[in-house]
Each structure stands twice: as C-alpha cells, then as structure tokens.
Amino acid sequence: MKRKLLYASILVLVAVMLALPNYIAKMPYILNVFILAFYMTTMSMAWNLLGGMTGQNSIGHACFMGIGAYTSVLCVVKFGMNPWASLPIAIIVTAGITALVFSQCFILRGPYFTLVTIAFAEAVRQVILNWDFAGKAIGLGMPYVRGNSWLLFSFRDKTIYYYIAFVMMVLVYALMKYIDNSKLGFALKTIREDEDVAAAIGIRPLKYKVIAVVISASVSAVAGFFYACYYRYIDPNIMLQSASVELVLPAIIGGSAFVEGPLIGGILMVSLSEYLRNTFGGILPGINLILYAVVLIVVIRFRPTGILGFFDRRGRE
C-alpha cells in the first residue's frame, strides 16, 4: 500500500513539474531554482548508482561532471565544434579517464576508496588550475548567442532549459530504474552487501564496479554538458570537494538504498535550500547549509534508510 502511495505521489509530482512553468514563466529566479534542483537530482542519481547501489562511496563526482563540462567547452571554444557534437566526446573522455583510473583503484575498499576519489578529484582540479589551454583559474566561457537556438543549445527563455533539465532527470531516473531491476543491478547490490560472497557465487566484483563507475561518470558528463550550456561559463571551482558532498546529501536524505531516493531528496532539499538562501540569506548567511546539516542529523539519527525508509519495511529494521 505504501509503495502504491509512493508511486502515485511521484506521478502527481511529475504532473506538477510539467505544469509549473505555465505559472512561473515570468519568475526567472524560481525557474532557475527548479533547473538547479533537476541538475542536482540528476547528479545525485549518478552518484547513487556507485555509492548507494554498489556501495562504493565516492566524494569525487563533481570531478566527473567537471571533466565532461570542460571537454565540451574546450571542443566548442578551441575547436569550433557544435555543442551537440561535443556531447558524445565529453561522455567518451569522461568514461575513458574514469575507467582507466578506477580500474586500478577498486582493489581498495571502504574509506580507502573514498580517499582515492577525493585525491583524484583534487588532482584533476589542480591540473585545470595550472593548464593554460583550459583557462587556468579564470575559466572558460561559451560563445554568446542571441535569441533561442536549438542548434547551438542556447536559449534566452529559461522555460526551455527547465524542460530540458526535467527530461534529463526523468531519463536518468528511467535508466537507474532499469538497472536496478536488471541482472546488472542484482550484481551491484550483491557486491554492496558482501563483495566476498559475490565473488564466491561467480560475480566478478572488479568488472561490475568498473561498469558502475563508467555509467555513473557518463551520466555526470551529460549533466556537466548541460551545466556548461546553461551557465555559459565554467571554472575549476565546479570540481571542489564541497560540490561533490552537496551531490551526495540528497541521496542520503532521500534514501540511498532506493532508486527514488535521490529524486525525492534532490527536488525537496535543493528547492527548499535555495528558497531559504534567497529569503533569509541576508539575515543568516549559510542557512541553507544549516538546513542540510540539521536534516542530515535527524535522518541519520531516526531514519538511517532516509525519507523513503517510511515506505519500506526495511526502514523499520
């Protein structure tokens, strides 16, 4: 019964999200908040594939997004490519670097693997900070385009970005749901529960962990491409460790054991966080971070399985 209520709530939420721009089209800030929420939710779902479903806790996903964003922008700015043509290159480069590096790091478990992801993200950020071709600390800007252009992925109307971000989030959710119900998902969750048992029954942990990190990084690259095209400017700060932590929190608060966890946690928490920062930021700077901290403490103390733990019997254990 609770499951049916959950799915009904998601359908209602989708309907509201589709209709919302008709009422807030003349409120650019509110549109921006929802676009950011959809982007953050997409990134949180990408993290959840590796962290929640596979049990490999990464604090470097902002780096995956940054590699995708920088690859895309460099293709456009330095080589004159069309933004759409740069997207598959960004995915291939991000997935390739990730597979190459992490295939050698998955022998590490627990906090040691987490430390590797932090080190990798900071190493990539330092390379960008000192690389003239990538703009160093100044960053890079996408070419200015007048009006709305699907060909150049540039729109003055934020409503278009809203729907693109929403579709991106829904498609990534559908991908994660498919993986969750597939043999791949079964293998990843078995590795999460007990890697030695998984190996004993014929599942090759290294193979499946590499597959998980490649898919996760590829989705992050797509989100990075969207971020670059939306903001039209990137710099190395998009790969800060604090940005990676922000991507993890929605999944943990929503319920990292559930595919819907990042979806629920991201939309609720990011929207509320941005609203509080805009409304009360001048009175109490950092109130959005205080909100995250308070909610995270409450969830960990009273419902470790997250908000969606209320909809599943396992949440009572």
- pLDDT, averaged per 10 consecutive residues of the chain (317 residues), comes to 65 74 74 90 93 88 94 94 94 94 84 89 93 90 85 88 93 93 92 88 90 95 95 92 85 84 83 75 70 75 74 50
What is the structure's pLDDT at 271? 78
Q: Any idea which residue has 């971070």 for tokens?
A: 289
Closest to 172 in 3D by CA, of 262, 246, 63: 262
CA 226 to chain CA mean position, Å: 12
Q: Any idea which residue has 């929503």 for tokens?
A: 254
What is d(CA 303, CA 313) in angstroms, rounded to the nearest whole number? 12
- Determine which helix (DSSP H) or strand (DSSP E) holds 51, and give its type and residue range: none
β partners of residue 149: 154
What is d(CA 122, CA 127) in angstroms, rounded to the nearest whole number? 9
- DSSP single-letter state for residue 260: T
Answer positive or negative: Cα dihedral of 278, 13, 37, 85.
negative
What is the structure's pLDDT at 2? 58
Closest to 296 in 3D by CA, of 280, 263, 273: 273
What is the structure's pLDDT at 30? 83
Contacts of 15 (CB under 8 A, 6+ apart): none
What is the structure's pLDDT at 104? 84
Contacts of 309 (CB under 8 A, 6+ apart): 255, 303, 315, 316
What is the structure's pLDDT at 147? 78
CA atoms within a 13 Å half-sphere pointing along the CA-CB vector of 98:
31
What is the structure's pLDDT at 75? 95
Closest to 217 in 3D by CA, of 51, 36, 38: 51
